Every structure is written in structure tokens, then in C-alpha cells.
Structure 1
Amino acid sequence: MQAIVMTGTGGPEVLVPREVPAPRPATGEVLIRVEAVPVLYPETQLRSGAFPMAAPPPVVFGFQAAGKVIEIGDGVASDHLGRRVVADTAGFGSYAELVCVNAQSVTPIPDGVSAADAAAAVMSGSVALALLDAAALTGTETVLVEAGATGVGSYLIQLAREFGAARVLATAGGPEKSRRARELGADRVIDHRPAQWTDDVRTDSDPTIDIVFDSLGGPSATALLATMTPGTGRMLSYGWLSGEPARVTAADLIPGGLTLTGCSGPAWHERVARSRTAILDRVPSLAPPVETTLPLERAAAAHELVESRVPLGKIILRPGPAPR
């Protein structure tokens, strides 16, 4: 079968198309004929060596895939056969025509939702649902969504009012992404490219921010504390697109009675996993999640696109021959 092998750590060029043996499902596993592979920003960090891989290269790359279950291993219920699913791998193996995964890691795709849309929405959307649940909105809060034009931020904007946000602010990088954040439903958008962008958050109409969904990290997280509602303001930190985690200490939080929740670790990932069915059910009512579909062998080009941060939607890899 065709697969993309990560030959070492480095730039996108380390992702090389190769013919490899087809996998077979072990006990508790299912075999999926892959129809769509989402290219995830964290994958670019793993490929580059910024974070360690679960298995050393050379290894078939990839963390998620969508497709149809065509074979089951011992101990797996027969009703899995023929089911359309989105699946997580054990840390590698999804950039391929076939992938074996633990049967417990699959989420059924609802009727009317394509494999590509399911693959594009499931990760960012389920993280957004988990964040909104953890935020415990009451219906009165003003929220700030960082990097709101793409990825998790785009789902936070679309779903925030459903979960109780009264007003939704967002940040974005430049005019095109600012326009996109407004289209998704943001009431106001701040350009986060200037170094002192946090100075523009508070206005007469938005004197304080109740909740910050922090995906940028770095020093801006500390600067935002001055804009937050004393006593009840809360920051949920789940990323560091700036290149470093939020620079926030207890000494920064205590004077204002603020809280910071670190959204990571095994318990958090379980919470995200429990949100997958709910986000797939919502896909038809959300903005189309796929921007570009490329053949599997162009995985390196897909990584270049993701790292450019230009795309507004998800990049999907399609195994097999191009459709006629």
C-alpha cells in the first residue's frame, strides 16, 4: 500500500511516499480503508523535532484518519464492519491507504457528513467543545478567542453563544483572517500581529473580559490579565502559537482573584475525546471545514501550507487515485 514515511526529523521533505506492507488488525483493533487524513498543526511540530514522536523514524506518519472499517480483529464486535469512522492512531500510521487502530479509538461518522468534513472538524471542534464546557459560561460573559479565524478558534467563535457567551471578541493575524473571524460570528476582532496588541482589547463597550481562550501563550497572556474581570475572570490556556506557554504565575493571578486552567494532559485528552460525537453531529450546521484537498503523496506540500499559516480551513490528504 502507499504510505507517507517520516524518514527523520526536519523539514517537510522528510515525509516521503513509499510502498509499505499493509497492516492487519490485532486483537481489539479494526482495519480502516482511509478516505481522508487531516493535516494537523501539532504534527508539524512532531515532524520538525520540536516534540518527540511516539515511535522513532523511519515510521509511517500521522495521527488521525477517516474512512470505512473493512476488517476487525479478535474481540471486536462485528457491527464495526462497514462503519464509517474517524479514528486516532497510537501516534503514527494514518498517512496511508490502510490503518489499524484500537476499536475504542473510533467515532462513527453521522449520515450526511463526508469523511473529509469529519476528519477536518473532529480534532479542532472537539477541543473547542471541551474548552467551552470547562469555561462554565452563564450567559452574561464577554469572551476573547485568540487566533479565531482558524482551527480551534474558529469553532470557539461559532459555538460560544450556544454555550452562553453574551459577546464574542477574537484576535486574528491580518485583514483576511480578521474578515474570516467576523464572518464566523465575532462581534469585534483585534489584530494580534502588533507587539502591544493587548492594549486594544479593552474599549468602552468591552471594559473587561470574563474569559480568555488562550492559544497564543507567551507574554501576551500575562498582559491580558489586566483586561480581565476581577474576582471571576478566567483564562483557559490550551496552546502556544507564539512558541512558548503562557507566562503566568500564581503571583500574577492572585491580586485580581483570577484563575488559569491548563488544558492538557491525559484527563484533558479524555475530555476532548468525549466531545467527538457531539462535534460530528454539529458539522452540517457549521462553516465548511475543508479548504484544500491534496493527494496523499503531496504530504510534504500539505505541511508547508499548514506551516505558512495562510489557510483558513483544514488541509486534507486523500489516499488512492484521484476521483473521475
Structure 2
Amino acid sequence: MQAIVMTETGAPTVLVARDVDEPRPGNGQVVIRAEAIPVLYPETLVRAGAFPFPAPLPAVFGFQAAGTIVELGAGVDPALLGARVVTDTGGFGAYAELVAAEQGSVIVIPDGLTTELAAATQMPGSVAMALVATAALTPGETVLVEASATGVGSCLTQLCVARGARVIATAGGADKARLARAHGAAEVIDHAVPGWADRLRELLAGDTVDVVFDSIGGDSLTPLLDVITPLSGRILSYGWLSGAPAQIGAVDLILRGLTLTGCAGTAWLGEVARQRPAALAAAARSELAVGIDSVLPLTDAAAAHRKLEERTALGTVLLRP
């Protein structure tokens, strides 16, 4: 079968199309014929070497896939044969025509939701739902959603608006700003413009932000600290688009009575996994809309990674075997 193999860490060119052996299902496993494979921003960091790859190289790359179950291993529910599902592979094996996965990692796609939209929704929808639940958002609060035109950011914007929050969004450029407004943001600030925190102060007009969903990291939070609601303000840090985590210390938080929740690690990933069925169900009910930027052939995996790294995608990029 055809697959995308990561030969070493480095530039997108380390993702190479190769013919590899078809996977066979082990005990408690299924084999999925992949129809839509989402390309995820964290995958670009793993490929580049910022985080360790979870298998010896060279190996078939890929975190998630969606498709139809075509083979069952011992002990698997026979009703799953022929089911449309999404799966999380644990970091390798998804960029392929056939994907082996644990039965416990597959979620049956609800009726009314296409396989492509399920693939596009799985990661950003479940992360956004976990973030909103962790923030304990209440109606009437003001939230700041950084990078709101990303998959997670757009889902966050929609979920917060649905819960009665005022959403101030950041986005890089006019096209992404329009996308943020389409998802319900009350105001949008261009975070590519230097000093954008001053624009936030103007919009607040003396008010404060109750929740900050931080996906940029680096020093982006520093100029925001004094516009976050004292004593009850919450920062949820879940992304490093700047290349580094949020550069603030305990004293910064203590003196203002703020809390920062780091949304990473094993426990956090478990919470995200628990939200996956709810995210797909919300998408099936049209309560959560995830845009698809493009669908590329599997062999164009390197080009898909470049598209994400250059921040030109307006929605999820999918690969199709």
C-alpha cells in the first residue's frame, strides 16, 4: 500500500511517499481504509524535531485518520465492520491507505456528518470543547481567543458565543479576520500588527477580559496581564505558535490574582479524548462548523505541511489516499 514515511526529523521533504506492507489487525485492533487524513499543526512540530517522534525512524507518519473499517482483529465488536469512524493513532501510522488502530481509539461518525468533516472536526472540536469546559465559562463573560482563524480558534469562538460570551478575537490578516467574524467574534484584532494589545485596551474601554485562550505563547501574554480581570481572570495556555510557551512567571499571576492552566500532557490529552464524541455530535447537529481549506492527494503531504507552516490555510488541510 502507499504511505507517507518520515525518514528523519527536518523540513517537510523528510515526508516521503513509499510502498509499505499493509497492516494486519492485532488483538483488539481494527484496520481502517483511510478516506480523509487531517494535517495537524502539532504534526509539523513533531516532524521538525521540536517534540520526539513516538516510533523508531523511518516510520509511517500521522496522528489521525477517518475512513471505513475493513478488517477486525480478535476480540473486536463485529458490528464495527463497515462502520465509518475517526481514529487517533498515537502519533504514527495515519498517513496511509490502510491504518491499524485500537478499538478503543475509534469513534463512529454520526449520521449526517461526512467523513471529511468528521476528520476535520476531530482534533479542533475536541480541544476547543475541553478548553471551554476547563475555563468554566459563564454567560456574559468577555473572552479573548488568540489565532481565532485556526481550527481550534474557530471552534472556540463558536462555542464561546453559543455560551453567551463576548468574544474578542485575534487573527493575522484581513481574510482570517473575516473568518473570525463569520464565526461570531464581536471584535477582531490583527495580531500581526505591532502593539495589538493597545488596540485591545481601546476596545475594552476600561473593561477587562475574563478568559484568555492563549495559543500564541512567547511574550504575547505580557502586555495583556493588566487587562485581565483581577482575582477571577483565567488564562488557558494550549499553543506555541510563536515557537515557545507563555513567558510569564508566578509573580506576574500572584500580584494580579490570576490563574494559568497549562493545557498539555497526558491528563490533558485524556480530557481531549473524552470530548471527541461530543465534538462530532455537535458538528453533526450543525452546532460546530469546521472549514476545510483544501483536500490534497496523500503524496502531497510535504506540501500540506508547508501550507500549515506558512499560515496560509483558511481551515483544515486534508490528505486523501
Into which bin does the TM-score normalised by the smaller protein fall?
over 0.9
- Tell me the residue number matched to 1:116: 116
Q: 1:78: how far off?
A: 1.2
Q: Does 1:70 align with 2:70?
A: yes
- Return the alpha-carbon distance in structure 2 between the equivalents of residues 119 and 304 of structure 1: 20
- Tell me the residue number matched to 2:316: 314
Contact 2:151 2:290 in 1 (8 A): no
- Tell me the residue number matched to 2:159: 159
Q: Does 1:191 align with 2:215?
A: no
Structure 1: 4+ residue segments shifted above 3 A: none
CA shift in 2, pair 1:25/1:248, >3 Å: same
SS at match of 1:220: coil
Q: 1:163: how far off?
A: 3.0
Q: Does 1:179 align with 2:178?
A: yes
- Tell me the residue number matched to 2:297: 295
Q: Does 1:230 align with 2:230?
A: yes
Q: 1:90: how far off?
A: 2.7
What is the number of residues matched between the two proteins? 318
SS at match of 2:35: strand
The CA deviation string for residues 199-245 of structure 1, in whole angstroms up to 9 with x for no partner, is 22123655210000000011111221111011111100001101110
Q: Does 1:265 align with 2:265?
A: yes
SS at match of 1:203: helix
- Tell me the residue number matched to 1:322: none
Q: 1:169: how far off?
A: 0.4
- Return the alpha-carbon distance in structure 2 between the equivalents of residues 267 and 10 of structure 1: 29
After TM superposition, the score normalised by the length of structure 1 is 0.95
Contact 2:6 2:59 in 1 (8 A): yes
Q: 1:82: how far off?
A: 1.3
- Return the alpha-carbon distance in structure 2 between the equivalents of residues 196 and 57 of structure 1: 43
The CA deviation string for residues 157-190 of structure 1, in whole angstroms up to 9 with x for no partner, is 111122342x110001111111111111100011
Where do 1:1-324 residues align within 5 Å?
A: 1-165=1-165, 167-203=166-202, 205-206=204-205, 207-284=207-284, 285=286, 286-319=288-321
Contact 2:219 2:247 in 1 (8 A): yes
Identity among equivalent positions (%) equals 59
- Return the alpha-carbon distance in structure 1 between the equivalents of residues 129 and 143 of structure 2: 15
Contact 2:120 2:290 in 1 (8 A): no
- Return the alpha-carbon distance in structure 1 between the equivalents of residues 116 and 222 of structure 2: 38
The CA deviation string for residues 50-96 of structure 1, in whole angstroms up to 9 with x for no partner, is 21100122101101000111111112111221111100113200000
- Return the alpha-carbon distance in structure 2 between the equivalents of residues 162 and 313 of structure 1: 20
SS at match of 2:138: coil
More displaced stretch, 154-163 vs 102-111: 154-163
Contact 1:137 1:164 in 2 (8 A): no
**Alignment RMSD (CA, Å):** 1.2
- Return the alpha-carbon distance in structure 1 between the equivalents of residues 48 and 300 of structure 2: 17
- Return the alpha-carbon distance in structure 1 between the equivalents of residues 216 and 90 of structure 2: 27
- Return the alpha-carbon distance in structure 1 between the equivalents of residues 290 and 174 of structure 2: 20
CA shift in 2, pair 1:214/1:164, >3 Å: same
Give the residue type in structure 2 aligned to 1:279: A
SS at match of 1:32: strand
After TM superposition, the score normalised by the length of structure 2 is 0.96
CA shift in 2, pair 1:204/1:48, >3 Å: closer
Contact 2:154 2:290 in 1 (8 A): no
More displaced stretch, 217-226 vs 94-103: 217-226
Give the residue type in structure 1 aligned to 2:305: H
More displaced stretch, 207-216 vs 284-293: 284-293
User: Which runs of no fewer than 5 residues in structure 1 stay unpaired?
Assistant: 320-324
SS at match of 1:160: helix
Contact 2:36 2:319 in 1 (8 A): yes
